[in-house]
Structure 1
């Protein structure tokens, strides 16, 4: 099927429909990407970070247990009261219990994997350390010097468990950082792809609209040129080349009927001219024959009467000719009025069909505006989802600040441990080294949380840019809705103008009917005049015959008189 044969509504709404489909597809794709980002953020914030916080809490408890164990070892070595060492060992048991609970909570939060299996082993090791601590506590009441030999290996075991917890926490931090990096990359890719798609849609819609408008303008210009040529009397216009099956096809059909009427009018005009020429020749020959007959038959005695008769016959012939010409012209005018009335009726029918077509176009524009409104609602839903993503980022930032505070507290504890080790002198050197390592780990934790905070800030910035991009899309959809409303208003104006044309054409049809009635009356008068002139001409001919007979009778009478 040719483009010219497609309905006008399909041509006008092809470009907006394509743009709308592309925007809906982009909104669906963006929704899926945002859903993936939300899932990743939930995994990082609610699983990884909270599990890491529990692991750090367990490590802190084990660190406190190691410190209490160290103090108990120092008190027992210095020969202090055994009750003090026992009380410190009770604190070690409590701290180990809290550490076990924190490890269990972290294990429950994490999905199945290597870290979860490692935490299960760590929990079992913490439980195993409870028995040696109880044994040492009992030994302190029996033989304090023998119990001291068990404290150092026990502290080393606690340190090993703490190192494994720190390794698990570091692994979770690394996993969370990788997830945040992937989430940032996905947001950036989504923003870039959305920008490219919007540009492609805008350029595509503009190009399609330009092509359609140019083709429609070319068709209308060709139809307008053909109409002007027909109005100027040029019947050589190729109307068949303008044939089409859309709403403009009715106008082309009316032009074809108009051209056929022009051709018939020219043919009738030529035939009428030829008939008038033949009639004029015949009338002239008849006039010559009558003149010769009168000239040969009339005598000098009736010359004056013959001249009067000839004058009367000439006037009668002139009147008859004028009546006949008037009758023929009236007939031509009657046919022209009839054809004009038919053309006016055809134009009225075309105007009514065009009005119906504009009504259908108005309905299509209304449906397009409804679809644009639905697209705007979907874009608003996408904006709300991006705002929820930004709220999740704020929650992750709160978790990062919590980790930073824990690192600061750990740093303070390490500083206190360093001070206590300095007070202990040579006996506290090993503990000072451990406190230094704890302080280093706390510093690294603080730096890591700062980097995570920076990544979260970047993620929030990307989210805000995505919200701005969706707002731009929403503005584009609003502009499409406005354009559809303007088109609907223009179509309503065209429909009103078409109805006005139909009304004027109906009035013109009534006018041609009145003219046709007047022409019929004029034709009747012309017929009556023609009959009257024929009667006068017949009377003049009879009078001429009587005059000839009178002339013959006079000649015979004179001859008889001469013979006599």
Structure 2
């Protein structure tokens, strides 16, 4: 059951692809409206040809059959009238005694032969042109002609024997003649009526044909216009969608919103859609590379900040250790200064008797005081350098971009601090030496 459903789905998709306008090649799209128009024109031409053929056949039937029948019937009627007139003419001349009886008989015999010719014409008319309704009429005419001929033959035979008896049969000739002419005229009128009916039918058929031609032409024109409009709108819409997708991809904004599969087609624009897919893939690849690069930059920036922070913390610890060491040194120097002051005081008390020694000791004490002042200045310088080191450390933390310059400055500050420490040690050594000298002098 599932296989049948899949097969039906595939078949339906295949039919949709076949009938989809986007999968038709452009020569077919462009040629389809023209082909429809040509087909409509061919259909109109064929329809018009058939209609005109019917009209021509009907007209030919009217001309050949109806007009031919009328012509032959008129000829037969004229022949009968002429025979009847000749018969009466011969009888008149014979009654007036102005004609030879033998010659009159010969003329009447000729009229009988002419009647045979009329009968042959009627037989030919029956074979070639007569309709089913006219066959009974032609049979009646032939019967009347046979009677008429029989009467003429009897008159011819009686004319030389008894003219009065022959004349007595002339009156029935007129009735027989009128019957023949009436039937022939009726046949002619019937043919004329049929011709008029055929002509009216032909005119009606012509009007119907013209109307049908107009309707078919209008329908064909509408179909051609609809096909052309459908092809134009479908192609224009497809090109517009492809152009919009191309513009979006060219801007590089929201490329994921472009559904290339929806634009897939098998006509000449299919290559452009395939190129758009490659374009979209390249944009996605570039975006991924850009994101990866930004991630790497952020990671490198974080590592750099972490490294600079570690360096700043390490530098701060070093500076604090130096500051602590300087503080300890200053404390020891203060203790030694206090000790030396006490020693000097005691020495001054013990050497009160020796003025010269005392004066010299006082000078030494003044020297110690001067050294102490220098030591105080050095301590202030150290404090200032410590503060400067803290500021430099804060600047190093806040301005990671200037780390190298700050580290160099801190290195120079550390060197200066080392110089100050060395100076303090030297001053302390001199102070100890002066105190020792003062003690020696006081002992003297």
Instruction: State the SS of the aligned residue for 1:234.
Output: coil
2:125 to 103, 106, 123: 106
Runs of 4+ in structure 1 deviating by more than 4 angstroms, as ranges, are: 283-293
CA deviation after TM superposition for structure 1 residue 277, in Å: 3.9
Matches within 5 A, 1:148-547: 148-236=167-255, 238-240=257-259, 242-247=262-267, 248-283=269-304
**In structure 2, distance between residues paired with 1:23 and 1:155:** 64
Residue by residue over 1:273-317, the C-alpha shift from the partner in whole angstroms, topping out at 9 and shown as x without a partner, is: 332343355456657878979x99xxxxxxxxxxxxxxxxxxxxx
**In structure 2, distance between residues paired with 1:93 and 1:111:** 25
CA contact (8 A) 2:21 2:231 kept: no
- The reply on whether 1:17 has 2:35 as its aligned counterpart is yes
2:52 to 34, 45, 49: 34
Q: Which has the larger radius of gyration?
A: 2
Match of 1:144 in 2: 163
Report the TM-score when normalising by structure 2. 0.60
**In structure 1, distance between residues paired with 2:247 and 2:52:** 60
Instruction: State the SS of the aligned residue for 2:59.
Output: helix
**In structure 2, distance between residues paired with 1:4 and 1:99:** 76
- Number of residue pairs the alignment of both structures matches: 305
Match of 1:96 in 2: 115
CA contact (8 A) 1:235 1:262 kept: no
**In structure 2, distance between residues paired with 1:145 and 1:250:** 115
Instruction: State the SS of the aligned residue for 2:160.
Output: helix
Gaps of 5+ in 2: 1-15, 320-444
1:74 to 80, 92, 95: 92
Match of 1:6 in 2: 23
Match of 2:340 in 1: none
CA deviation after TM superposition for structure 1 residue 113, in Å: 0.5
Residue by residue over 1:365-413, the C-alpha shift from the partner in whole angstroms, topping out at 9 and shown as x without a partner, is: xxxxxxxxxxxxxxxxxxxxxxxxxxxxxxxxxxxxxxxxxxxxxxxxx
**In structure 1, distance between residues paired with 2:143 and 2:306:** 143
The one of the two structures with greater contact order (alpha-carbon pairs below 8 A, sep at least 6) is 1
CA deviation after TM superposition for structure 1 residue 106, in Å: 1.7
- CA 1:272/1:85 → structure 2, altered by over 3 Å: closer, same or farther? same
- CA 1:4/1:116 → structure 2, altered by over 3 Å: closer, same or farther? closer
